[in-house]
């Protein structure tokens, strides 16, 4: 089921078409806000509200394509569906190549458009949730000192403290202390959870290989102690 707080932004300078589509989408159970221009969208809409944007490709003033290009700079992350006339199909295809989610030629099937909007509602909410989780994970990882991050990455492979100590060239007691700090700072309780936070944050990919690569190499051939 689509997120009930999501909204379709319907941007079209044809008031008759805009009103008819808005009515049809509302009858399909979707929340809709209509705008007569891209300028009106930027002036009056709240980009914090999830959903999608249905854009006419040709409008007076700012075109749909220009609006698409400016969305990010105005704080919008909602996926875009373009409405095009039969003579504008090539333009609509170009818009899809530039990141639009879909396009429909006029006259538009309200049922198909509603189905596409529901799908994009779910996509937008999910994408926002993933970005929030990634940002939180990155914030947690940023708490770690360089040595704690080394220990976290090594521990995430399932290596025992003695193995990590040998690979890093430190005492086992030091590894135990660092590992305890890692658990506290990442708010986790196991090596599996450490790995999940690091992957969510993208930390494993961004780690300086010149510093940690040797550690990984040393961990691989060593049999883990129980």
The CA-based diameter of the chain, rounded to the nearest angstrom, is: 75
Task: Say what the pLDDT of residue 220 is.
Answer: 54
Q: Which residue has the tokens 């506290």?
A: 184
DSSP 8-state symbol, 169: T
Q: Is 41's pLDDT higher than 90? A: yes
Strand partners, 208: none
Q: Where in the chain is the domain with CATH 1.10.10.10?
A: 142-219
pLDDT of residue 216: 56
pLDDT at 69: 92
Give me 168's structure tokens.
């890093």
Q: pTM for the complete prediction? A: 0.76
- The mean per-residue pLDDT over the stretch 122-127 comes to 95
pLDDT at 131 over 80: yes
| pLDDT given for residue 217 in this prediction | 53
- What DSSP element (H or E) covers 182? helix 172-186
pLDDT tens digits, 179-210: 999 999 999 999 999 999 999 998 765 544 44
Q: Among 1-5, 104-108, 183-187, 211-215, which range has the highest average pLDDT?
A: 183-187
Class of the domain covering 142-219: mainly alpha
Per-residue pLDDT, averaged over 65-92, amounts to 89
Q: What is the DSSP string of 103-159?
A: EEESSP-HHHHHHHHHHHHHHHHHHHHHHHHHHHHHHHHTTS-HHHHHHHHHHTTT-
Residue with the larger pLDDT of the pair 132 and 216: 132
Question: Is 12 strand, coil or helix?
Answer: coil
CATH topology classification for 7-129: Rossmann fold (3.40.50)
In the predicted structure, residue 65 carries a pLDDT above the cut 50: yes
On the question of a cis peptide bond just before residue 17, with omega within 30 degrees of 0, the verdict is no
Tell me if 47 sits within 8 A of 75, measured CB to CB. yes
B/e letters for 64-95, b = 16+ CB within 10 Å, e = fewer, are: bbebbeebeeeebebbbbbbbeeebeebbeeb
Please report which confidence band the pLDDT of residue 214 belongs to, taking 50, 70 and 90 as the band edges.
low
Residue intervals in the chain for CATH 3.40.50.2300: 7-129
Q: Does residue 204 contact residue 149 with C-beta atoms inside 8 Å?
A: no
């Amino acid at each position: 089921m689509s997120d009930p707080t999501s909204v379709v932004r319907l941007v079209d300078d044809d008031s008759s078409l805009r009103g008819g589509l808005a009515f049809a989408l509302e009858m399909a159970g979707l929340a809709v806000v209509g705008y007569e221009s891209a300028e009106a969208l930027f002036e009056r809409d709240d980009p914090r509200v999830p959903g999608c944007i249905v854009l006419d490709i040709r409008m007076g003033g700012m075109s749909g394509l220009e609006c698409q290009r400016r969305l990010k700079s105005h704080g919008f992350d909602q996926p875009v569906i373009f409405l095009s006339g039969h003579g504008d199909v090539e333009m609509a295809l170009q818009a899809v190549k530039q990141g639009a989610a879909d396009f429909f030629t006029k006259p538009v099937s309200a049922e198909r458009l509603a189905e596409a909007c529901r799908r994009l509602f779910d996509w937008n909410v999910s994408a926002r949730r993933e970005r929030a989780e990634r940002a939180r994970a990155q914030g947690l990882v940023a708490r770690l000192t360089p040595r704690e991050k080394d220990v976290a990455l090594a521990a995430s492979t399932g290596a025992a403290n003695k193995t990590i100590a040998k690979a890093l060239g430190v005492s086992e007691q030091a590894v135990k202390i660092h590992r305890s700090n890692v658990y506290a700072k990442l708010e986790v309780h196991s090596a599996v959870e450490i790995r999940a936070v690091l992957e969510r944050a993208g930390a494993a990919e961004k780690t300086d290989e010149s510093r940690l690569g040797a550690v990984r190499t040393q961990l691989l051939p060593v049999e883990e102690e129980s």
